[in-house]
């Protein structure tokens, strides 16, 4: 009986050691880089005001909204990370990390605005569209990744993060002015905005060697919208004025593949 008991302890010990490799195979301080694509879901909501006068008398005026998005477009993303993964047990982990992102520019084009023309005037703006660009200058995040070791070499994890982004917002108006008497003045908008948001996702970490790991992460990142003055158009001799405010709501889904090193 004693021999069987000793044999059981030996096998159990070997099995545990084989699983741990060492006891906490995913714990430690990591530095890494990843890259991939962002599936864009950003949205712009333009609230416009249109006034068309004729000889100083009201001819047509209206207010409305124009919602535009870039659903399905993609841009690049690069992510530099520094994080510490702590083991509660040989299988359960929690990761604390900070990330710095390089994001590609996003471009959101509206469909043509529909302005009223009750008197069927010829001198009206046609094919009026607004193109909004989001150019991230600085983007960082801090977050938590609770994880579970599926095998000795494979860790599954979730991601919960807070994001900050400083971005340049610019607009470009495209319009057919051939029917306007003019002179036509179009004012474009260039602004720098701070955006705050959050991220939610998950992924896997594969232990390639004692120090090198391969990571795959998918994360939905959404920012709280910011509102600013949008582009405007004025045609003096036609007595036409278009003004608007824009509400920009950046968000996207990242797919990132990376390599990390454990110290």
Average pLDDT over residues 197-220: 96
CATH number assigned to the domain covering 25-262: 2.40.160.20
Give 2-11 pLDDT, tens digit per residue.
444 344 334 3
How many Cβ atoms sit within 10 Å of the Cβ of residue 215? Answer: 21
Average pLDDT over residues 215-235: 92
Q: Where are the beta strands (DSSP E) in the chain?
A: 28-40, 43-54, 57-69, 74-87, 92-103, 106-109, 126-151, 154-176, 184-187, 190-207, 212-223, 226-229, 232-235, 240-249, 251-262
Give 110-122 pLDDT, tens digit per residue.
888 888 777 777 7
- Please tell me the pTM assigned to this model: 0.83
Let me know: does 205 contact 147? Beta carbons within 8 Å: yes
Give 43-71 pLDDT, tens digit per residue.
998 888 888 876 555 567 788 888 888 77
The mean pLDDT of the chain is: 86
Give the closest residue to 231 by CA, choosing from 175, 183, 177, 166.
175
Least confident of 59-63, 144-148, 167-171, 202-206: 59-63
Let me know: does 118 contact 60? Beta carbons within 8 Å: yes
Say what the pLDDT of residue 86 is: 94
Structure-token pair, residue 90: 């040989």
Query: Can you name the residues that pair with 74 across neighbouring β-strands?
Result: 39
- The pLDDT of residue 213 is above 90: yes
CA distances (Å), origin 11, targets 8, 18, 22, 23: 5, 10, 17, 16
Give 69-113 pLDDT, tens digit per residue.
877 789 999 999 999 999 988 899 999 999 999 999 998 888 888
Kindly indicate the confidence band of residue 177, based on its pLDDT and cuts at 50, 70 and 90: confident
* Domain chopping of the chain, boundaries: 25-262
- The pLDDT of residue 34 is above 80: yes
- What distance in Å separates the CA atoms of residue 46 and residue 244, rounded to the nearest whole number? 6
Say what the pLDDT of residue 179 is: 82
Let me know: does 252 contact 40? Beta carbons within 8 Å: yes
Query: Can you name the residues that pair with 59 across neighbouring β-strands?
Result: none
- The pLDDT of residue 14 is above 60: no
């Amino acid at each position: 009986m004693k021999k069987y008991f000793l044999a059981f302890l030996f096998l159990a010990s070997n099995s545990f050691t084989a699983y741990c490799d060492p006891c906490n195979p995913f714990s430690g301080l990591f530095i890494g880089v990843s890259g991939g694509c962002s599936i864009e879901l950003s949205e712009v909501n333009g609230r416009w005001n249109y006034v068309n006068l004729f000889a100083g008398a009201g001819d047509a005026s209206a207010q409305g909204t124009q919602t535009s998005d870039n659903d399905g477009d993609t841009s690049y993303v690069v992510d530099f990370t520094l994080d510490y993964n702590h083991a509660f047990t040989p299988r359960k982990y929690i990761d604390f990390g900070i990330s710095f992102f390089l994001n590609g520019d996003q471009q959101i084009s509206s469909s043509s605005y529909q302005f009223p023309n009750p008197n069927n005037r010829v001198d009206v703006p046609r094919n009026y569209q607004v193109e909004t660009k989001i150019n991230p200058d600085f983007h960082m995040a801090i977050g938590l990744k609770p994880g579970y070791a599926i095998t000795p070499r494979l860790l599954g994890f979730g991601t919960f993060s807070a994001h900050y982004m400083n971005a340049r917002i610019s607009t470009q108006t495209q319009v057919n002015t051939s029917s306007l008497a003019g002179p036509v003045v179009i004012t474009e908008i260039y602004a720098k905005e701070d955006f705050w948001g959050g991220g939610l996702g998950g992924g896997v970490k594969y232990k390639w060697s004692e120090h090198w790991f391969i990571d795959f992460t998918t994360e939905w990142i959404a920012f709280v919208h910011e509102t600013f003055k949008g582009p405007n158009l004025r045609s003096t001799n036609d007595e036409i004025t278009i003004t608007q405010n824009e509400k920009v709501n950046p968000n996207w889904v990242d797919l990132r593949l990376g390599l990390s090193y454990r110290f």
